[in-house]
Structure 1
Amino acid sequence: MANSTQILKGLLEGCILKIVSTHETYGYEICEQLTVYGFQEVSEGSVYPILIRLEKKKLLYSNMIKSPFGPMRKYYYLTKEGNTELEDFISSWDKIKKNIDNVLEG
């Protein structure tokens, strides 16, 4: 049986797209938001490669912005393609969740 880490990796992309869709944000803030939502086991070492992958897929774009607290930060924004991917993720998740709930509720 697949462990929860493998399952989580597949779902984090959609969760990150959702977080970025709400406002411009940077990597560390995304990590903090994931922790607030209950993903305590997700590290920065997991999030940053996902951000790079999403940017390469043109689902996100980034901009370096001066931070009032130190070095410049890389802020992420959702592209039109990213918004479409997010909508697809939500639709797929709804279907999968419904099916799993049906099985678990027997």
Structure 2
Amino acid sequence: MGKQDSEMLKGVLEGVVLAALARRPAYGYEITADLRERGFADLAEGTIYAILVRIEQRALVDVEKVASEKGPPRKVFTLNDDGRAQLAEFWTTWGTLADRLEALREKGQ
């Protein structure tokens, strides 16, 4: 992924994580692995964990500590109603922005 790709992704990564959690509850590494499988190959785990801390502080997820066979308990994140509302707003904003960008591209050709 190039520098421009990385910079663009930073602006939407919270929405991407919320979208991943809309599919099912998960812990940080599961989210990272899922997103990597979906084409976000250059994502660093630390980036995802920072976003999870932020969305937890904003009360967009519910968190449950689940025992792990390896090491300390894992924090499993579940999208709550506020998180679903935030995700819906993200998709609305994304759609509007995508439409505007497409219009710019079409006018430039």
- Structure 1 CA distance for aligned equivalents of residues 30 and 9 of structure 2: 19
Taking every aligned residue pair, what percent have the same amino acid on both sides? 31
Corresponding position: 1:23 with 2:24: yes
Between the aligned partners of 2:28 and 2:34, the Cα distance in structure 1 is: 10
The match for 1:42 is: 43
Give runs of aligned pairs for residues 66-105 of structure 1, distance below 5 A. Answer: 66-67=67-68, 69-71=69-71, 72-105=73-106
Higher share in strand: 1
Offset at residue 80 of structure 1 (A): 1.1
Cα deviation, 1:26-65, whole Å, max 9, x if unaligned, reads: 0001001111111111100111000000000111121110
1:6 shift after superposition: 2.6
Gaps of 5+ in 2: none
Q: TM-score, normalised by structure 1?
A: 0.90
Instruction: Report how many aligned residue pairs link the two structures.
Output: 104
- In structure 2, what is the Cα distance between the partners aligned to 1:98 and 1:53? 29
2:4 aligned partner: 3
Normalising by the residue count of structure 2, what TM-score does the alignment of the two structures yield?
0.88
